A and B are shown apart, each in its own frame.
Chain A
Amino acid sequence: MQTKKWTRRAFATLAALIALTSPIAIQAANALDLNGAGATFPEPLYTKWFFEYNKKNPNVKINYQAIGSGGGINQITKKTVDFGASDAAMTDEELSKAPSKILMLPMTAGAVVITYNVPGVSSALKFDRETLAKIYRGRIVKWNDPKIAKDNPGVKLPDQSISVVRRADGSGTSFIFTNHLSAISPEWKRDVGSGKTVKWPIGIGAKGNDGVAAQVQQTPGSIGYIEYAYALSNKLPVATLQNLEGKFVSPSVDSISAALEGTKYPENLRAFIADPDGAASYPIVGLTWLLVYEKMDDSAKAAELTKFIDWALTDGQQYAKPLQYAPLPASLVKLVKQSVSQVK
């Protein structure tokens, strides 16, 4: 008897479930699914965009997997997704492996900031260009080095070793950071170079922004680089850095935007802003791109995807600032829109 009752109840529940889900199932069948994969760096903003866009256009649902820029490039090349995303755009070699022309569309920009854990120091530290590169090359090893002290008068720096923390996993953050180091230090460019994974001269590797942040917080005397948005939401101390014009600038959405304004963009929109012009520019910034085929296999998908990108470039930009991403300057938006209009 007991079992019979149980079975009946199970059936009732099942029937109710089917009744409940079927309208959704029907709705889903009418909706258009767009699938994308790639960079983790812009994921918070992309997620917000897809959510807001879906509210306004219930017939379009965009799914995004933040599997990393490399994975995004692989998947768009193999056409297993409708769009890819990358913090390092695509190299010419990667582009040549794709079956047809891929457009690289900058969507937003962010910054990489320097965070640190120096016992007894509470104010924002300043590092000039030479000092930053020398710390990461292991040429400045103590916090009370005269080179650091010179830019930070009045700060009591301890006689402690600098423990350098870096990303161990391949990442767009490392790419943006090493790109900047290569631009400001010829020695760095010669010995290490730039990339998502490089052969670091010194330092301890941690996994992800969270790993670097945890390691810096836990290790007295350490220094590390992380995404600006991550540093801000976790209230980590960030350093003020010296830009191309010699000014010390702290990271903010405005100083990132200033860096974007001062950049000239090539026709393919692949601009790595290694060392931006402008007195108000924060020096370590990077764009992040969507990767879309110029001729998509499915014209309905192409139409909806271009509509979404147009929306993200105009109405969507308002969501960037609260999440600490920099809205693109109007001049760049115009260029990206021109490029998107070629998608068929």
Chain B
Amino acid sequence: MTQLTDQQERTSKELVANTGNFQADAVFRLILRIAAVAVVSMLIWMALVVAGESLPSITKFGLGFLFDTNWDPNSDAFGGLSFVFGTLATAFIAMAFAVPVGLGIAIFLTEDFLPEQVLTPISFMVELLAAIPSVVYGLWGIFVMIPVLRPLEQGLSGGSSSGYSLFTAGVLLSIMVLPTVASISRDVLKSIPRSLRNASLALGATRWETIFRVMLPAGTSGIVGACVLALGRALGETMAVTMVIGNTAQIPNSPFAPGYTIAALLANEFGEASGGLHVSSLFFAGLLLFAVTLLINVLAEIFVRRVSLERQ
């Protein structure tokens, strides 16, 4: 023990001398703890308020709310099925377009197809899509996208479509969530060690085999994370969707017919809702949106864990 080096002795002395820093540490830890608790309790508080406000509707309609499409404030009859359906359907359409395209962009931007000077502006522009306010997307949807999509939708639906539809809303959403998918996936692919790719190429794999067999599987958890974030935005997007979806409470028989989402319903009816049951049913619909988002996040988490377990 006499072998205690100078170095060690000095360190321990410094530690004793710097007790002030220990206090700073404790304060810092406390601040962090408060911040963490604040975030969590905010979420719980919101959930409790929404659940509390929807109580009259829950007791009146119960689970039947989930299986009823009738929404008639005049006769105090409320059912949320058409809104849940519309929310899931538009988000599904959005993801069906955004994931392949976004992933394609991410692969394109991380492979050396083009020189860096060209790639940087492209990735910057993709990210810029995220900076456009959603009301601008909505206006663009009404004045540009619908006139373009209308002939297509009318052709596919036998002439009955007005252009305001689940499909239109889904396509608009896919553009809105594209930067989320593309830029996070790009970062994920970029962060995969070069040695992995080089090893694959050294074993004789082609570029495509490397991308699909090595790069994408290695980035799965990050890419799924990107998709979940994008899905969250697609589920909750309000303004742009309500401007192009047609706001009709029904389960349409075609994707080219108007529908309604939970977020759009809340935006449209909350301000003028009078009568306790109407307001309460709107809260109930909000609670469902909460539940749907939570469920999807949990499923994604389980999926990511399973994939990384398999890898190990």
Contacts and interface: CB of A to CB of B under 8 A. Distances in A.
Interface of A: 67-71, 73-74, 91, 93-94, 161, 163, 168-172, 192-200, 203-207, 211, 214-215, 218-219, 222
Contacts of B75: 193
Given A204-B162, A205-B260, 4 more contacts: A169-B271, A193-B74, A204-B248, A218-B142
Contacts of B274: 70, 73-74, 91, 94, 196
Contact of A218 (B143, B160, B268): B143
A204 B164 contact: yes
Interface stretch (B20-28, B187-195, B239-247): B239-247
B163 interface: yes
B111 interface: no
B268 A170 contact: yes
Given A168-B247, A170-B268, A192-B74, A197 B164 contact: no
Contacts of B209: none
A68 B246 contact: no
Nearest to A198: B74
A168 B268 contact: yes
Contacts of A94: 274
A315 to B, nearest CB: 31
Nearest to A169: B268
B272 A197 contact: yes
B64 interface: no
A170 B146 contact: no
Contacts of B242: 168, 207
Given A195-B74, A198-B74, A204-B162, A170 B271 contact: yes
Looking at A94, A197, A198, the one whose CB has the most chain B CB atoms below 10 A away is A197
B271 A67 contact: yes
A197 B143 contact: no
Question: Taking each of B142, B147, B163, B247, which has the highest tally of chain A beta carbons within 10 Å of its own beta carbon?
Answer: B247
A94 B274 CA distance: 8
B151 to A, nearest CB: 12
B142 A195 contact: no
Contacts of B269: 169-170, 197
A204 B163 CA distance: 10
A319 B246 CA distance: 36
Interface string B234-276: 0000000011001111000000001010001001110111110
B72 interface: yes
B232 interface: no
B137 interface: no
Contacts of B273: 70, 170, 197
Contact of A68 (B71, B147, B162, B271): B271
A69 B272 contact: yes
A188 B19 CA distance: 80
A195 B243 contact: no
18 contacts: A68-B272, A70-B271, A94-B274, A161-B160, A168-B242, A168-B264, A168-B268, A170-B268, A193-B75, A197-B73, A197-B74, A197-B272, A205-B247, A206-B243, A214-B143, A218-B142, A219-B162, A219-B163
Contacts of A200: 248
B280 to A, nearest CB: 14
A166 B184 CA distance: 40
A36 B271 CA distance: 16
Contacts of A219: 162-163
B271 A71 contact: yes
B120 to A, nearest CB: 32
A16 B164 CA distance: 54
A72 B29 CA distance: 46
A287 B301 CA distance: 55
A70 B70 CA distance: 22
Q: Which 9 A-B pairs have the closest CB atoms?
A: A170-B272, A205-B247, A168-B247, A68-B271, A70-B272, A199-B72, A169-B268, A204-B246, A193-B74
Nearest to A196: B272
A138 to B, nearest CB: 12
Contacts of B162: 163, 204, 219, 222
Contact of A205 (B73, B160, B248): B248
Given A70-B273, A170-B268, A218-B142, A204 B73 contact: no
Given A170-B268, A211-B243, A203 B248 contact: yes
Contacts of B246: 204-205
A85 to B, nearest CB: 13
B309 to A, nearest CB: 46
B71 A199 contact: yes
Nearest to A200: B248
B272 A214 contact: no
A13 B143 CA distance: 45
B142 A207 contact: no
B258 A207 contact: no
Contacts of A199: 70-74, 249
Given A204-B164, A204-B247, A215 B272 contact: no
A285 to B, nearest CB: 20
Nearest to B273: A70
A104 to B, nearest CB: 15
Contacts of B163: 219
Contacts of A70: 271-274
